[in-house]
Structure 1
Amino acid sequence: MTTVEKISMGIIGIGMATTLLLPGRQTVPVIDAVRKLFSGSLATAMNVPRR
């Protein structure tokens, strides 16, 4: 893994842990937003239309 990948995974991991552990957070919308971010980035890299 490159340094950028490690930093990105760390930020995402901290964000996910914060979402799940702190009270009053909107867990489902945040997880869905992260999923859309990755699928959109992958779709852009593969040059296919997003769903």
Structure 2
Amino acid sequence: MTTVEKVAMGIIGIAMATTLVLPGRQTSKIIDSVSSLFRGSLATAMASPKR
């Protein structure tokens, strides 16, 4: 397993644990914020504006 895969699995694991612990189970907000993080990182890498 490469370092990138380990980091990605760690982020996903933390997000899943956070979703279980949050009051009111705000799963949709967590999923939106994680996907926004990845979209923002990808947009930065490609030097394009976020949409």
Q: Which runs of 5+ in 1 are unaligned?
A: none
Number of matched residues? 50
- Name the SS for the 2:15 alignment partner: helix
Q: Which runs of 5+ in 2 are unaligned?
A: none
Paired residues of 1:16 and 1:31 also in contact (CA < 8 A): no
User: 1:33-44 alignment to 2 at 5 Å?
Assistant: 33-44=33-44
Question: What's the C-alpha RMSD, in Å, of the aligned pairs?
Answer: 2.0
- Give the TM-score of the pair, scaled to structure 1: 0.70
